[in-house]
A and B are shown apart, each in its own frame.
Chain A
Amino acid sequence: MSEAYFIFELTTRCNLDCIYCYNVWKQTETYQQKDLTLAEVKTIYTNINKDVSIKGITLAGGEPLLNKEIFQIASFLKSKGVKTAITSNGLLLNDENIKQLIDCGVDHFEVSLPSIENNTYDKLCCSKELKPVRAAILNIRKYNVKLTVSAVITKYNIEEVYNIIELSVVFGADYFSFNRFVPGGKGLTNGEILGLNKQQLMQALGEANRAAKVFNIPVVVAIPVEHCLCDTKTFRNLNFGTCVCGDYKWVVDPFGNLRTCEQNPAIIGNLLETEFNTLSQKDIVSQFRESNYNTDCASQTCFANCGGGCRYCR
């Protein structure tokens, strides 16, 4: 039985309105507002678990804490022995919620911190509430769980890369996730003002590389960077990898729809009605898997690591 890792988007709702947000419902009106219910999670789990060994599930959103059944959902996954993580903007991660989530089996927290400056945070997330996010990071660190701080790197915060990682380290992060901006969701309309050109990407990776070395923190470049876009070997302290979307990693939206990745709005089918095996073998999936490289790529030595890069971008 093959293994797979899933992102469960628990709700379309969010208490922020980030201008770089990649959530697919921000780009298409076909998505209504909805929360994934516990009953639906149980059905989806059954339909997936028949066909693959679930390596882990990340509870995401929107803001997953806006789903009122989040604790019951986490408890259910815990009862099934599923390793569960949560990715949040941190605003609702107060001490009580953190503790309750940990009690319900969540053992890895990812908090988004795109800036440590109030002004930049406001520009990017349309919120002046940076303080609770920082407090959330510090509060999570009180517990023996894994903590990743992530940031979408855009033109607005490119100068802050080193400082964000520095603060993450002293606040106790175990990992830092470097996500270069990819135009998706709301970000599609803001691509011009946020997107990094090659030189800026190199600059941002350089700063992240320097921080990873100085602070001895694993920095994961979560959105794959193609070798032909920049020589990843230059950044020896960063962790590069290839795209695993639609292969090892899958996304389930609040309606139970299966998608290949967070950014990709294409719906494969509904897991409340159809089993995972049937959906994952559809043509749309194989087309997506093959979409990120051309015939030249396969002959290159770098292909083993690059694998063609981000399938959504390509």
Chain B
Amino acid sequence: MENTYKYILIAAAFMIAFLLYFFGIRKLSSANLKNKGFFMTTLLIALASIGCNFTSSGNNESNTNKMDNIFGKDDSKRIIELNKTKEWKEFKTFWKNLDNIEPTKGAENNEFTPYIYAENEDYDKKNKIVVSLREKNEELKNSLSELVRKNLLDPLEPIILFDMCKARIDYIYYGNVSMMTRMMPMPGVYEKEKTIKMLEFKIDTLLKLERKGKIDTTELKLALSNIQLEVKKFGVLEILGKGKMLQYYYRSSNLDNENPQKDTLTVFDKSILDFENAYNEFMKTYDASKADKQQKDMYDKYVLVKKELDTFMSIYPEFCELIKDLIVNV
């Protein structure tokens, strides 16, 4: 709509310039003709240029808006824009479907989970569903990258969304699986599982309480939109986990914590603190000219994790708006 006005303005400018030029020739003497002609030509070019400038500044403005949206100056516009795209709508439907699936009975158990409910006769059926959901998730991740190209999503956002859905699918159907291995899970993995469990629990419980009439729709929406903490925890722990072996190189105080519930500093806060300390310590002593292959590898991982962590922390408020849209808005 804005562009239409601009084009009308340009056309009007040309028209006025032409009329002034035309009447100028007829009314003015030949002595003045050259001067006025020069003036009119200049006016014509100037007006046309103004029109061009409007158009081009409009484009810039629109780009700026999109960038602003990503970095939080007006995120509501971004959500509106996203909801116009088929990619986001499709992803939202997928997310909503996951909301409506309750975790398999027993999945809430914190202790060892029986091997993927192998004794359950539905195992094959469930496994097929999981495979198809994982495939769909993969497909949606690719389609969301289109929204990155359109500048509606930060490149990190589809990755975290994909990881969240993947973790949700696994938890819903398989429960907590990290403790099933004979290998000690990497620090943060168990906590990440608990985060997804809490996310699912909150969504399911809130829907259940609403059905029972224990909370009203306003409370439901507000409570659902308040799950930022889980989103933040998941995002950070997922990124910290990307260092893979990296976390074995620094001792996380998570391991010292016999019962995390007894500590006022959360495992999540500790995880960040531990990483930051380890990162600073490593960077203090790292010398690229003397580093061997292993040290270089660690350096790369530290840099990657640090970069993603910083990015996530900076886009986190806007990322939460995405999650709110996924959970609250139909």
Contact = CB atoms under 8 A, between A and B. Distances in A.
Nearest to A138: B222
A171 B262 contact: no
SS class of chain B's interface: helix, strand, loop or mixed? helix
Nearest to B197: A216
Contacts, number: 53
A218 B265 CA distance: 11
B229 A172 contact: yes
B262 A239 contact: yes
B315 to A, nearest CB: 16
Given A170-B209, A212-B261, A239-B262, A116 B214 contact: yes
Interface in A105-158: 116, 134-135, 138-139, 141-142
Contact of B261 (A138, A167, A171, A239): A239
A170 B202 CA distance: 5
A138 B262 contact: no
B87 interface: no
B219 interface: yes
Given A138-B219, A170-B205, A170-B206, A216 B214 contact: no
Given A141-B226, A172-B226, A134 B219 contact: yes
Given A141-B226, A213-B110, A135 B219 contact: yes
B265 to A, nearest CB: 11
- The winner among A141, A170, A239 for most chain B CB atoms within 10 A is A170
Interface string B190-223: 0000100110011001100100001100010011
Interface in B67-121: 108, 110
A218 B223 contact: no
Interface string B254-288: 00000101101000000000000000000000000
Given A167-B209, A169-B202, A218-B261, A142 B219 contact: no
Contacts of A218: 261-262, 264
A39 interface: no
A211 B182 CA distance: 29
Interface string B179-191: 0000000000000
B219 A237 contact: no
B222 to A, nearest CB: 4
Interface in A30-87: none
A72 B223 CA distance: 31
A224 to B, nearest CB: 16
A178 to B, nearest CB: 13
Contacts of A1: none
A215 B201 contact: yes
Given A216-B198, A218-B261, A138 B226 contact: yes
Contact of B223 (A138, A236, A239): A138
Contacts of A217: 261
Contacts of B194: 216
A166 interface: yes
Interface of A: 116, 134-135, 138-139, 141-142, 166-167, 169-172, 212-219, 236-237, 239
Given A138-B223, A139-B222, A216-B194, 5 more contacts: A170-B209, A216-B197, A216-B261, A219-B261, A239-B262
Interface of B: 108, 110, 194, 197-198, 201-202, 205-206, 209, 214-215, 219, 222-223, 226-227, 229, 259, 261-262, 264
11 contacts: A141-B226, A167-B214, A170-B206, A170-B223, A171-B223, A172-B226, A216-B194, A216-B261, A218-B262, A218-B264, A219-B261
